[in-house]
């Protein structure tokens, strides 16, 4: 896959997945209206803003790495040609999942909305289950990208 196609595919998937999950759904639930801060502590709003500020670049960076380094997309129907092991992928297996949930939790704290907190928790649980058997998927990725197992 060429870089141009990878960038376009990643941009399309960005709109379909994280933008809907961390943008449209929270807006639909809250209309981005502020409620009283959790437990009456305004510091929770600041923590929410920090989670959003940290989460958004994590999603964008991960999508960019899929397209520019991996020559593919995060979408399962158009996987990368090269294994991405830089950026946040150097430290965690699914930084997009973590960043999307961070943005949702950030909005829940910022707007003081328990419904978003529950939505974020359910999405986190779903992503945890979606990860499945990491050893199997790691082995499949290694085979697809020509990496040999060193030890078990």
Instruction: Report the pLDDT value the prediction gives residue 133, as an integer from 0 to 100.
Output: 47
Question: Is 51:109 a contact under the CB 8 Å cutoff?
Answer: yes
Q: What is the mean pLDDT of residues 27-38?
A: 95
| C-alpha to C-alpha distance for 152 and 150, rounded to whole angstroms | 7
Q: What is the mean pLDDT of residues 18-45?
A: 96
Instruction: Report the pLDDT value the prediction gives residue 8, as an integer from 0 to 100.
Output: 94
Q: What is the mean pLDDT of residues 66-73?
A: 93
Task: Find the length of the chain.
Answer: 152
Question: Is 147:83 a contact under the CB 8 Å cutoff?
Answer: yes
Q: What is the mean pLDDT of residues 73-87?
A: 92
| C-alpha to C-alpha distance for 27 and 13, rounded to whole angstroms | 19
pLDDT above 70 covers a percentage of the chain that reads 86
Say if residue 129 is exposed, middle or buried (CB neighbours under 10 Å; 0-12, 13-18, 19+): exposed
Q: How confident is residue 1, by pLDDT bands cut at 50, 70 and 90? A: confident
* pTM confidence score: 0.84
Instruction: Report the pLDDT value the prediction gives residue 149, as an integer from 0 to 100.
Output: 47
Q: What is the pLDDT of residues 94-105, one digit of tens each?
A: 999 999 999 999
Task: Copy the structure tokens of residue 24.
Answer: 């449209």
Q: How confident is residue 10, by pLDDT bands cut at 50, 70 and 90? A: very high
Instruction: Report the pLDDT value the prediction gives residue 145, as an integer from 0 to 100.
Output: 55
Q: Using the predicted structure, report yes or no on whether residue 126 has a pLDDT greater than 70.
A: yes
Contacts (Cβ under 8 Å, ≥6 apart) of 40 = none
Instruction: Report the pLDDT value the prediction gives residue 141, as an integer from 0 to 100.
Output: 56
Q: What is the mean pLDDT of residues 72-87?
A: 92
């Amino acid at each position: 896959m060429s870089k141009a196609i990878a960038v376009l595919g990643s941009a399309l998937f960005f709109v379909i997945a994280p933008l809907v999950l961390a943008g449209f759904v929270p807006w639909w639930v809250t209309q981005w209206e502020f409620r009283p801060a959790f437990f009456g502590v305004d510091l929770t709003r600041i923590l929410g803003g920090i989670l959003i500020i940290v989460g958004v670049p994590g999603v964008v960076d991960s999508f960019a790495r899929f397209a520019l380094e991996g020559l593919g997309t995060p979408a399962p129907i158009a996987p990368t040609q090269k294994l991405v092991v830089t950026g946040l992928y150097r430290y965690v297996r699914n930084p997009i999942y973590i960043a999307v949930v961070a943005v949702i939790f950030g909005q829940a704290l910022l707007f003081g909305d328990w419904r978003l907190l529950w939505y974020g928790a359910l999405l986190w649980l779903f992503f945890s289950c979606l990860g499945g058997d990491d050893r199997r998927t790691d082995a499949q990725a290694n085979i697809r990208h020509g990496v040999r197992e060193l030890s078990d």
